[in-house]
């Protein structure tokens, strides 16, 4: 560690500050600030009380040896005396004074700063240890910071308390866990002008998805007031995800918005200083504020672009704190450090998939972190002082965590909290120690009994589930470096956008089928016609639910357009620039009726499978306005977000005339085939599609064989009937003849053709048939993808050998 010659330096003059290595190079704070300001990024002004003050404090007060001797008494096995050692170590600092000459220099800098900024400002006094914020270790919050500090005496006292905080229980344990020598770690203090986020807002931004490691997005969390509530996880924040490629191309980049409850707002206390250790107090957020997003779209994109600039400067994923001044409405970057989980060099080729093999009673649910599953006895703790009750392998259940919990959390098999979001303390620590966690449950400590056997599953997207009992589960390990993609394109079938980032790491050529119905059913939840004709709704309960869900939107239809665009955009961004083929809605009438407000707009049918579905709905007066909303959303994804890798597909198109009607209607709604490279496919799932394949090829750019519907309609079997289910077989020769016929027609007309279904992964013979027939692509469910790839590779190898043998015999 390099010691500085000066005790205090303005931020802009610091060239050799003893702070962490960032992005593989020594971070020059002065250089960083100058660079950020040059790029138009606002940062609070301030000065640093360097580590030279810390070393001089130790030597002047003759406590260096005493400190070392005290730390040598620590029980390194059970840490039984950790609390006592910490308390005595901090007392060594708090009982002494900073040398008077240094105090005078601090006062001098303080008065110069006040003269420049005005005597009404207050300060944030932040600790910065030399072992903190490395690319492979963060544990943010190990040392203390003090907010809303006013006056020179309180500033000096806050500095001393920062020095003492180097020996909190959590900081001592952290250094031991990470192999740092206590006596070679120093502490400097950053003194910043406080941004009036107490009457504005603040938050955290990651230049990476912190759960999956997907690098092409920016995650922003935000709350009202000062940021400590977010870091500690005491409130549920707003969450936003933005796509980097769209940001760089100046397209609309917001992939998702999630409104948080933001239950509390941390504000300044009436008087500054060290009152209550912080000079702040927490108040309940008004219902009006809870219902508002903390940032608008323009502010989000401005902040996200700043995040990109900072990441580009340091050449590694970053964890950034931001604030918005309530007086000026200006945004500021107040801290930047490397993101620690995904900066650690590890084998990027190993992909793990966790599978829950059975289900039971759901006890509670919340935000899942990562994709792991864990099980064990629940241990409900209300205070970190009770940490001795938690045994190795038990599940920690608590209201909320802060850095005082760190030594305890390392013993847990999993973590469950009532409060917190994806950037809360519990979330950060869970990721770093690599365990499953479900945060923000709200009622975990009420619904789970102390000592109860439970299973925690984060394997089903962003929603984490807590089940009763020790359930069976399996961990699959996939080494993608050993998987070679075949010549036949291998694509995926996807329904849930929450899993898109995770699945993007699997070997693939894109998405062959994105099911819009799942998004409408699970994300939007409302029948589109109930939005179009909201004022005509007769169901009062449905009307109330719709009003609540759409409260952020002045026009009800925009709710549908916005959420559908965000969900499809998330998948398109995850796989960009690979093709993502989105099938327009293919609900049957009985399924559509189950959406909120749906019963009023759906006719009753005896056989919905063969009724009012697919293309025939789109141009019907009963749904035409609903289809327009679907088109508006897809237009937004392609034209405004710039995700032109999205292709569209029409299901259950019975005749060429029907295809022409739909293509014409899409053009009327702003989706013109060929414009900006737009391609429109059709599903091949009705025998008429195959009989008239050449006519369909004149209308559409590609075909996708839906083997399930095609099999049932070829064999005259209701695939949902148990009585005839044994006859359902895609390998039936009549089905294969039709598939071979349409592949030949596609080759003749130069039309792309693929197949979506389980059969090529379940049956190597069926995969061989498709490869021999010359299929362009095959789409699999993610859990069948690897097996499908192996079957196709084997089929292509057999075909190649056969072709070689034929050539040899010629």
Distance between CA atoms of residues 27 and 18, nearest Å: 9
Q: How many CB atoms lie within 10 A of CB 721?
A: 11
Cα end-to-end span (Å), the chain: 75
Report, in this order, helix, strand and coil percent for the chain, each rounded to 5. Answer: 40, 20, 35
Beta bridge partners of 376: 454
Which positions ≥6 away from 52 have C-beta within 8 Å? 3, 4, 5, 6, 7
Q: How many CB atoms lie within 10 A of CB 361?
A: 8
Q: Which of 182, 313, 425, 527 is catalytic?
A: 425
SS (H, E, C) 165-208: HHHCHHHHHHHHHHCCCHHHCCEEEEEEECCCHHHCEEEEEECC
Distance between CA atoms of residues 329 and 332, nearest Å: 10
3-state secondary structure of 29: helix
3-state secondary structure of 684: strand
Q: Which of 162, 201, 458, 756 is catalytic?
A: 756
Distance between CA atoms of residues 703 and 699, nearest Å: 11
Residue 447 DSSP code: H
Q: Pairing mode, if any, of strands 436-439 and 489-494?
A: unpaired
> What is the residue-wise DSSP string for 781-808?
-GGGHHHHHHHHHHHHHHHHHHHHHHHH
Is 756 annotated in the active site?
A: yes
Distance between CA atoms of residues 583 and 491, nearest Å: 14
Distance between CA atoms of residues 444 and 456, nearest Å: 12
46 with 193: CB under 8 angstroms?
Answer: yes
Q: Which residue bears the tokens 């640093």?
A: 48
SS (H, E, C) 344-360: CCCCCCEEEEEEECCCC
Alpha-carbon 773 to chain mean position: 41
Q: Pairing mode, if any, of strands 254-258 and 238-243?
A: antiparallel
Is 810 annotated in the active site?
A: no
Residue/partner pairs of 730-734 with CB below 8 Å, 24 or more apart? 730/757, 730/759, 730/763, 730/766, 731/759, 731/763, 731/765, 731/766
Alpha-carbon 496 to chain mean position: 14
Q: Which residues are catalytic?
A: 425, 756
């Amino acid at each position: 560690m390099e010691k500085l010659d000066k005790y205090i330096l303005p931020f802009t003059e610091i060239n050799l500050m003893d702070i962490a290595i960032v992005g593989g190079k020594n971070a020059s704070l002065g250089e960083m600030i100058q660079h950020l300001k040059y790029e138009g990024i606002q940062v609070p002004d301030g000065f640093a009380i360097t580590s030279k003050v810390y070393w001089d404090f130790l030597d002047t007060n003759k406590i260096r040896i005493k400190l070392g001797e005290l730390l040598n008494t620590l029980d390194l096995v059970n840490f039984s005396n950790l609390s006592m050692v910490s308390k005595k170590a901090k007392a060594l600092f708090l009982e002494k004074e900073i040398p008077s000459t240094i105090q005078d220099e601090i006062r001098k800098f303080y008065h110069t700063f006040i003269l420049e900024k005005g005597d009404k400002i207050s300060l944030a006094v932040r600790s910065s240890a030399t072992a903190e914020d490395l690319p492979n270790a963060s544990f943010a919050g190990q040392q203390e910071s003090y907010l809303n500090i006013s006056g020179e005496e309180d500033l000096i006292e806050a500095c001393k308390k920062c020095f003492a905080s180097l020996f909190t229980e959590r900081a001592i344990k952290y250094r031991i866990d990470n192999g740092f020598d206590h006596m070679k770690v120093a502490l400097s203090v950053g003194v910043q002008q406080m941004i009036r986020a107490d009457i504005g807002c603040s938050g955290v931004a990651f230049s990476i998805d912190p759960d999956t490691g997907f690098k092409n997005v920016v995650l922003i969390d935000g709350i009202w007031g000062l940021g400590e509530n977010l870091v500690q996880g005491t409130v549920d924040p707003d969450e936003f995800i933005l796509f980097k490629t769209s940001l760089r191309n100046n397209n609309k980049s917001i992939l998702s918005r999630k409104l948080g409850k933001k239950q509390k707002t941390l504000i300044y206390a009436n008087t500054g200083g060290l009152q209550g250790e912080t000079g702040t107090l927490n108040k309940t957020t008004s219902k009006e504020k809870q219902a508002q997003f903390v940032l608008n779209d323009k502010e989000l994109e401005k902040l996200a672009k700043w995040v990109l600039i900072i990441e580009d400067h340091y050449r590694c994923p970053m964890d950034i704190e931001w604030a918005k001044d309530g007086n000026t409405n200006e945004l500021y970057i107040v801290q930047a450090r490397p993101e620690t989980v995904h900066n650690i060099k590890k084998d990027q080729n190993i992909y793990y998939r966790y599978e829950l093999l059975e289900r039971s009673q759901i006890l509670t649910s919340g935000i899942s972190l990562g994709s792991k599953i864990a099980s064990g006895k629940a241990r409900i703790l209300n205070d970190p002082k009770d940490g001795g009750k938690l045994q190795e392998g038990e599940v920690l259940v608590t209201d909320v965590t802060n850095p005082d919990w760190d030594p305890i959390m390392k013993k847990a098999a999993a973590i469950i909290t009532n409060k917190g979001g994806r950037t809360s303390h519990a979330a950060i620590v869970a990721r770093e120690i690599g365990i499953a966690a479900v945060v923000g449950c709200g009622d975990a400590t009420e619904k789970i009994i102390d000592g109860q056997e439970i299973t925690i599953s984060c394997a089903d997207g962003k929603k984490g589930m807590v089940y009763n009992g020790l359930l069976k589960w399996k961990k699959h390990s996939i080494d993608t470096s050993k998987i070679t993609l075949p010549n036949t394109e291998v694509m995926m079938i996807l329904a849930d956008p929450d899993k898109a980032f995770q699945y993007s790491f699997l070997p693939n050529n894109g998405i062959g089928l994105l099911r819009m119905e799942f998004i409408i059913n699970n994300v939007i939840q409302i029948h589109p016609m109930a939005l179009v004709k909201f004022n005509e709704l007769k169901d009062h309960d449905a009307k109330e639910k719709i009003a609540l869900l759409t409260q952020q939107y002045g026009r009800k239809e925009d709710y549908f357009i916005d959420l559908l665009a965000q969900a499809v955009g998330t998948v398109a961004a995850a796989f960009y620039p690979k093709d993502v083929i989105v099938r327009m809605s293919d609900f049957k009438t009985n399924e559509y009726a189950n959406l909120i407000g749906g019963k009023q707009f759906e006719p009753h049918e005896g056989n919905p499978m063969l009724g009012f579905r697919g293309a025939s709905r789109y141009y019907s007066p009963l749904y035409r306005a609903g289809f327009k909303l679907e088109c508006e959303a897809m237009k937004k994804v392609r034209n405004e977000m710039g995700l032109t890798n999205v292709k569209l597909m029409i299901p259950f198109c019975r005749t060429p005339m029907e295809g022409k009607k739909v293509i014409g209607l899409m053009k009327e709604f702003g989706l013109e085939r060929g414009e900006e490279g737009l391609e429109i496919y059709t599903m091949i799932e009705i025998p008429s599609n195959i009989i008239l394949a050449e006519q369909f090829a004149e209308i559409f750019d590609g075909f996708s064989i839906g083997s399930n519907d095609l099999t049932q309609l070829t064999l005259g079997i209701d695939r949902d009937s148990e009585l005839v289910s044994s006859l359902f077989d895609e390998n039936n020769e009549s089905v294969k003849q039709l598939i071979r016929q349409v592949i030949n027609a596609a080759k003749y007309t130069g039309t792309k053709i693929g197949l979506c279904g389980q059969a090529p992964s379940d049956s190597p013979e069926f995969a061989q048939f498709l490869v021999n027939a010359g299929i362009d692509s095959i789409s699999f469910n993610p859990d069948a993808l690897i097996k499908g790839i192996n079957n196709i590779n084997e089929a292509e190898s057999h075909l190649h050998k056969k072709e070689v043998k034929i050539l040899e015999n010629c």
